[in-house]
Amino acid sequence: MQLTLEGVTKRVGAAMHLYPLDFALQPHAVTVLLGATQAGKTTLMRLMAGLDVPSQGRVLVDGDNVTGRPVRERNVAMVYQQFINYPSLRVADNIASPLKLRGGLDRATIDQRVRELAAKLHIDPFLDRLPAELSGGQQQRVALARALAKEAPLMLLDEPLVNLDYKLREELREELSALFASGDSTVVYATTEPTEALLLGGYTAVLDAGELLQYGPTAEVFHRPQSLRVARAFSDPPINLLAGSVVSSGIQLAAEVPLAVPLAAAKTLADVTERSVTVGIRAGALRVQAQPGDVALTGRVELAEISGSDTFVHVAAAVGPLVAQLTGVHYFELGAAISLYLDPAQLYVFDARGALLIAPAFPGAR
Amino acid sequence: MNEARFRWRTLFLLGYLLFALLPIYWMVNMSFKTNQEILASFTLLPQQFTLANYATIFTDASWYSGYINSLIYVAINMVISIAVALPAAYAFSRYSFIGDKHVFFWLLTNRMTPPAVFLLPFFQLYTTLGLMDTHIAVALAHLVFNVPLAVWILEGFMSGIPREIDETAYIDGYSFPRFFFTIFLPLIKSGVGVAAFFCFMFSWVELLLARTLTSVDAKPIVSVMTRTVSASGMDWAVLAAAGTLTILPGAVVIWFVRHYIAKGFAMGRV
What pLDDT digit, counting tens, does each position of B30-52 carry? 999 988 888 888 888 888 889 99
Of A89, A79, A90, A51, nearest to A146 by C-alpha is A79
What pLDDT digit, counting tens, does each position of B170-218 carry? 999 899 999 999 999 999 988 898 899 889 989 998 888 998 899 888 8
For residue B268, is pLDDT > 70? no
Residues on chain B touching A86 (C-beta within 8 angstroms):
165, 168-169, 183
pLDDT given for residue A366 in this prediction: 47
The CA distance from B256 to the nearest CA of chain A, in Å, is: 21
Alpha carbons B47 and B159: distance in angstroms, whole number: 56
CB-facing half-sphere around the CA of A201: CA atoms within 13 A:
7
Residues on chain B touching A82 (C-beta within 8 angstroms):
162, 164
The fold adopted by the segment(s) B61-266 is: MetI-like fold (1.10.3720)
The CA distance from B126 to the nearest CA of chain A, in Å, is: 44
pLDDT given for residue B92 in this prediction: 94
* A72, A86, A87 member nearest B173 (Cβ): A72
Q: Which residues contact B102 (CB under 8 A, 6 or more apart)?
A: none
For residue B1, is pLDDT > 60? no
- For CA atoms A82, A87, A92, A94, the dihedral sign is negative
CB contact under 8 A, B170 and A146: no
Q: Is residue A117 a contact partner of residue A95, using CB atoms and an 8 Å limit?
A: yes
SS3 assignment, position A304: strand
Phi-psi region of B206 (alpha: psi -120 to 50; beta: other; left: phi over 0): beta
The CA distance from B108 to the nearest CA of chain A, in Å, is: 27
For residue B151, is pLDDT > 90? yes
CB contact under 8 A, A71 and B171: yes
What pLDDT digit, counting tens, does each position of A207-256 carry? 999 999 999 999 999 999 999 999 999 998 889 998 888 877 778 787 67
For residue B82, is pLDDT > 80? yes
Residues on chain A touching B168 (C-beta within 8 angstroms):
78, 80, 84, 86, 146
Q: Where are the domains of chain A?
A: 3-233, 240-356
Alpha carbons A41 and A159: distance in angstroms, whole number: 9
- DSSP states of A207-221: EETTEEEEEEEHHHH
Q: Is residue B242 a contact partner of residue B67, using CB atoms and an 8 Å limit?
A: no
What b/e readout covers B175-190, taking b as 16+ CB neighbours within 10 angstroms? eeeebbeebbeebbeb
Residues on chain B touching A77 (C-beta within 8 angstroms):
171
Alpha carbons B167 and B175: distance in angstroms, whole number: 11
Calculate mean pLDDT across residues B7-23: 93
CB contact under 8 A, B171 and A49: yes
pLDDT given for residue A262 in this prediction: 65
What pLDDT digit, counting tens, does each position of A129-177 carry? 999 999 988 999 999 999 999 888 999 999 999 888 888 888 888 888 8
Residues on chain A touching B160 (C-beta within 8 angstroms):
none
B227 compared with B187, residue with greater pLDDT: B187
Q: Where are the domains of chain B?
A: 61-266
**Position B269 confidence tier, pLDDT thresholds 50, 70, 90:** low
The percent of residues in chain B predicted with pLDDT above 70, rounded, is 94
Nearest CA in chain A to B189: A88
Q: How far is CA B239 from the centre of its chain?
A: 21
Rg of chain B in Å (alpha carbons): 23
pLDDT given for residue A237 in this prediction: 87
**Position B258 confidence tier, pLDDT thresholds 50, 70, 90:** confident
Residues of chain A predicted below pLDDT 70: 255, 260-267, 270, 363-366
CATH code: domain A240-356 is: 2.40.50.140
The fold adopted by the segment(s) A3-233 is: Rossmann fold (3.40.50)
Q: Is residue B146 a contact partner of residue B81, using CB atoms and an 8 Å limit?
A: yes
